[in-house]
Amino acid sequence: MNNIQKALENGQSIWLDSISRDMLWSGELQEFVDLGVTGVTSNPAIFDKALAESDIYDEALEEYAKDGANRQTVFERLAVDDIRDAADVLRPVYDNAGRRDGFVSIEVSPTLANDADGTITEARRLWEAIDRPNVMIKVPGTPAGVPAIKTLISEGINVNVTLLFSLSAYEAAANAYVEGLSEFAQASRGIPSTVASVASFFVSRVDTSVDNALPKGHELRGKIGIANAKLAYAKFGELFDRNLGGGGSFFPLHTTGAQVQRPLWASTGVKNPAYSDTMYVDGLMGPDTVNTVPEATMAAYSDHGNPGSDLTGGLDEARAQVNALAEEGISLDAITDDLLKAGVAAFADAYESLLGRIDEKLQSLGS
C-alpha cells in the first residue's frame, strides 16, 4: 500500500485541496482517487488559480454569460459544473464507503460570513443546483455561521464547517451539527446516517502567528498548531461519545447509525521551510479524521510521510505546551480570534479577485 492508503487504514481520509477543469478533463482527479484520495475541497482562491492558469474555461465563460448574467452568477454556474463533475468522479468512493466519504466541498460566498440567513439561502441554492449526495457546502465557523450550520444539517444538507481556529469555535460547530441532526431525526426528514459533516480546523496558520510572537529559537515554535489540534481532537472524543459511554448528547444519534462530524485538518501545507514538509500530516494522523492537503504536500507525504497514528498520544504534552504559551504572555484565544477575522477577509479578497478575473476574461473574449 502507498502512504495515502495506509492513512486510510489508520482511519484518516486524505482529501485534495485543489480542483480545476483541467484536472477533471485530463483524468488527473481520477488518478488521485486511484491512489487513495477520497475527497476534494475548493474555495474561491482555488478557482481563481485555475482560471489564471488555463484557458480551458473560456468557452464555458462565454456560454455562462450569454444571457447577461452578472459575474457572481457566471462564477456559480462554472463552479457548480466543476463540483458536480468532481462529485461524479468520487461517487464510487462515496457508495463503497457507505456514504461516509467521497465528498466534494464548495463554499458559500465569503461575503456572507456574518449573514446567517444569506448563508442558508445560498447553501440551499448550491445544494439544489449541484444535486449530488456527496457534496458538502462550506460554511464558515463564525458566530453567524453556527445557526446556519444547525439549520442546514436539520434539512439534510451536508456541511463542511470551515475557518475553525479555536476550541470554543470548534465546540460550537460540533454542537450545531448534533443539534441540527437531532432535529432532522426527530422531524423524520430522512435517515440520519445519510447526513455528513466535517469540522475544518486550521493548523499551520496558528503556528505562523504564534511563531511571530515568540523569540527566535524558542522551544514552542512550530508546536502550538499541532497541540491546539490535538486538544480539539480530544474535545471531539468527548462530544461524540467515541468510547460509547452514553453520557454525551450524540449517543442517541449514534444508536441510529448517524455519522460523527469528523475533524478535518486544514491549512496543512508547511509555510516555514525549517520544518518538515509533512509535519501537519504525520503529526495529525488518527481515527475518524480527514486531512485536506495541497498538491505539493500530497506529493511530499506520498514520497516520505509517516502514516502511523500520532493523534491519540501526547495529549498531556499538548496541554502543557498551550499552558506554557500563556505563561509567555501570549494569548492563544487572541491569536485565533485574529486568525478568524483575517481568514474571512482573505477569503473575501480571493472571491473579489476571482470575480475581477472573470470580468477580465469576459472582456478579452468580447463577451
Q: What is the pLDDT of residue 313?
A: 87
Q: How confident is the model at residue 367 (pLDDT cuts 50, 70, 90)?
A: low
| Torsion angle in degrees (nearest 10) through CA of 221, 226, 232, 237 | -140
Residue 40 burial (10 A CB sphere; 0-12, 13-18, 19+) = buried
CA distance linking residue 7 with residue 9, whole number of Å: 5
Percent of the chain with pLDDT over 70: 98
Catalytic pick among 66, 138, 216, 341? 138
- Map grid coordinates 477543469 to a residue: 21
Lowest mean pLDDT among 49-58, 170-179, 190-199, 349-358: 49-58
- Give yes or no for residue 186 having a pLDDT over 90: yes
Signed CA dihedral, 346, 351, 356, 358: sign only: positive
Q: What is the 3-state secondary structure (H, E, C) of 282-306?
A: HCCCCCCEEEEECHHHHHHHHHHCC
- Pairing state of beta strands 289-293 and 262-266? parallel
Q: What is the pLDDT of residue 242?
A: 59
Express each pLDDT in 276-316 by its tens digit.
Answer: 999 999 999 999 999 999 999 999 999 999 988 788 889 99
CA distance linking residue 285 with residue 310, whole number of Å: 5
Q: What is the pLDDT of residue 344?
A: 96
DSSP reduced 3-state for 68: coil
The structure's pTM equals: 0.96
| 111-133 average pLDDT score | 97
Express each pLDDT in 131-178 by its tens digit.
Answer: 999 999 999 999 999 999 999 999 999 999 999 999 999 999 999 999
Q: How confident is the model at residue 247 (pLDDT cuts 50, 70, 90)?
A: low
Q: What is the pLDDT of residue 254?
A: 87
Q: How confident is the model at residue 366 (pLDDT cuts 50, 70, 90)?
A: confident
Q: What is the pLDDT of residue 206?
A: 98
Q: Rounded mean pLDDT of the chain?
A: 94
Segment (H or E) for 207: helix 204-213
Instruction: Domain 3-364: state its class.
Output: alpha beta
Cβ proximity of 11 and 288 under 8 Å? yes
Quick check: is 138 catalytic? yes
- Give yes or no for residue 244 having a pLDDT over 60: no
Express each pLDDT in 7-20 by its tens digit.
Answer: 999 999 999 999 99
Within 8 A by CB and 6+ apart from 202, the residues are: 163, 164, 165, 266, 267, 339, 343
What size, in residues, is the chain? 367
Percent of the chain with pLDDT over 90: 88
Q: What is the pLDDT of residue 53?
A: 87
CA distance linking residue 308 with residue 223, whole number of Å: 19
Cβ proximity of 259 and 100 under 8 Å? yes
- Give yes or no for residue 243 having a pLDDT over 90: no
Q: What is the pLDDT of residue 52?
A: 87
